[in-house]
Chains A and B, each alone.
Chain A
């Protein structure tokens, strides 16, 4: 683990001795992780392994029972309720079910949060156009989500996640509702975003995608990290 940290330089995300319990039942046990700036990593494991719990700890939807989570040097477990929105503005989150607003156009879906944060309209247009260009949807800005394919809807979700320029992008099962070819395209898009300097952490149990990408793979089983491998694959046998 120390070797990985040294190779990857500064740890942007750091989990130390994380324990999480629900009604006395452990969901995460002594998890220690360091994810570097601009790194791309998969978080894999079967259902109930603790992937979603770990993701929720990162965007402070949950707090650990013990241990500390640090992002960019800030111990987020100690943030007050009023500070949590400030943390979340520095994170981009991509959801399995896209979470798009059906009555708003692609442009308005991506612009929604910027407008809520009081960004001026000229800046909104500039940033949304740029985000849509990154996900190759600049020509679909006036479409409504129902007129888009699943892959396109997920790309809108990614554009919304990156529009505020977050240093960290968290994607919780982003390919869960997509066919294999579209899934690969989405993960390759996330990889390209990572190469622009954003730290990307994807939770998934999509073995072909993980194997095809050959990136860092953190495997969780029964709430514990059982392997953390650079250029890894989804080790199905070990996770059974």
Chain B
């Protein structure tokens, strides 16, 4: 019961702290909301592009043309043992020839086509590596794969990951500074209360708790604003991106929505964590008990 009363007092002190901070609450929440929106936007874009790239990646396939005299079933079994290989489809030369004759009305010749394997991979990164391994197969005459596309997609993915990491780090540091300064001002305005509480044996958590909760409230408020904005932006932009941009691409693009829910969860968690963490750090630095 005593602990419940203490917890309620901590909540009350938090409310008093927020009331006293007045307009500076909104300043902190606004700055933090902008930072979280940028962070969330970058994260969501990164995840969406990764989702799209991933969907492209599964459509990137390697075509392997077999030498005559090798059993395509046997070669396909060997190829399927390679890491990252998801699916191996055998196109017998008779089938390929029949299709070609149907589609193109070619002259009646002896079948010049080889047995072919269409190899689908788990991800874009594996394309080049798997192609190099296939070249060592004595049963394979020649392989074809979209080398340039694979390389470019890898570069885009790597760039987004690094950019996302750097931007997240920079914005987290900036928001920590903003929250730290605000909580420092609150500590200065409550200096006398803190001193009295400390000298009369009140637990350090009672003294620091309201400040940490105040920081967490800033984080939560800013994260909710950022999430609402990101959600609205997604709802507005999604049809446009699907209809105007992705429809012009040669590959089927799915996975655009993959980033939204995780992004909102990350933004909320990060907002509260940065708010509470920044306050805890500042409290520890300026309140000596």
* A interface residue numbers (CB < 8 A to B): 59, 61, 81-82, 84-91, 93, 99, 101, 112-113, 115-120, 160, 164
Contact B204 A85 (CB under 8 A): yes
**Would you call A89 and B9 a contact (CB within 8 A)?**
no
For the residues of B in contact with A, the DSSP-based class is helix
Tell me if B77 counts as interface (CB < 8 A to partner A).
no
B196 touches A85 (CB 8 A): no
Within 8 Å of chain A (Cβ to Cβ): is B203? yes
Q: Which of B9, B198, B201 has the most CB of A within 10 A?
A: B201
Binary A-proximity of B167-210 (CB < 8 A = 1, otherwise 0)? 00000000000000000000000001101111111111010000
Decide: B5 and A85 in contact? CB cutoff 8 A.
Answer: no
The reply on B74 being an interface residue by CB < 8 A is no
Nearest chain A CB to B261 CB, angstrom units: 40
Q: Number of residue pairs across A and B with beta carbons under 8 Å?
A: 61
Q: Is the CB of B202 within 8 A of A113?
A: yes
B residues near A (Cβ < 8 Å) are: 1-3, 5-6, 9, 192-193, 195-204, 206, 289
Q: Which of A88, A101, A118 contacts B199 (CB 8 A)?
A: A88
| CB-based contact B202/A85 at 8 Å | yes
Q: Are A87 and B201 in contact (CB under 8 A)?
A: yes
Residues in B neighbouring A89, C-beta threshold 8 A:
200-201
Find chain A residues with CB under 8 A from B203 CB: 85
Complex contact B201–A118 (CB within 8 A):
no
With beta carbons under 8 angstroms apart, the residue of B1, B192, B195, B202 that contacts A116 is B202
Bound Cα distance from A195 to B203, whole angstroms: 30
- Checking B6, B195, B200, B289 against A118 with a beta-carbon cut-off of 8 angstroms, the contacting residue is B6
Interface centre among A82, A85, A115 (most CB of B within 10 A): A85
B residues in contact with A115, CB < 8 Å: 5, 9
Nearest 4 Cβ contacts at the A-B interface: A88-B201, A89-B201, A118-B2, A118-B6
Q: B9 near A116 (CB under 8 angstroms)? A: yes
Q: Contacts A101-B193, A118-B9: A93 and B200 contacting too (C-beta < 8 A)?
A: yes
Would A88 and B3 be within 8 Å (CB), given that A99-B195, A101-B192, A116-B206 are in contact? no
The distance in angstroms between the C-alpha atoms of A112 and B199, with both chains bound, is: 13
5 A-B pairs besides A113-B201, A116-B206 with CB distance below 8 A are A101-B192, A112-B193, A112-B196, A117-B202, A119-B2
- Nearest B residue to A85, CB-CB: B201
CA distance A89 to B199 in the complex (A): 8
Selected from A99, A112, A120, the residue in CB contact (under 8 A) with B5 is A120
Q: Which residue of B has the minimal Cβ distance to A89?
A: B201
How far is B215's CA from A59's CA once the two chains are assembled, in angstroms?
A: 31
18 A-B residue pairs with Cβ-Cβ distance under 8 Å, sorted by A, are: A59-B199, A61-B199, A84-B289, A85-B202, A85-B289, A86-B201, A88-B198, A99-B195, A99-B196, A101-B192, A101-B196, A113-B196, A113-B202, A115-B9, A116-B6, A117-B201, A119-B2, A164-B200
Least CB distance, A168 to chain B, in whole angstroms: 12
In the complex, which residues of chain B have a beta carbon less than 8 angstroms from the beta carbon of A85?
201-204, 289
Q: How far is the CB of A126 from chain B (nearest CB, A)?
A: 16
Chain B residues with Cβ under 8 A from A84's Cβ? 201, 289
Q: Which residues of A contact B6 (CB under 8 A)?
A: 116-118
Residues of B within 8 A of A160 (CB): 196, 200
Look across to chain B and name the residue whose beta carbon is closest to the beta carbon of A90.
B201
Q: How many angstroms between the C-alpha atoms of A119 and B1 in the bound complex?
A: 10
User: Which residue of the partner chain, among A82, A99, A119, contacts B192 with CB atoms under 8 Å?
Assistant: A99
Q: Indicate if the CB atoms of B197 and A113 lie closer than 8 Å.
A: yes
The distance in angstroms between the C-alpha atoms of A240 and B213, with both chains bound, is 52
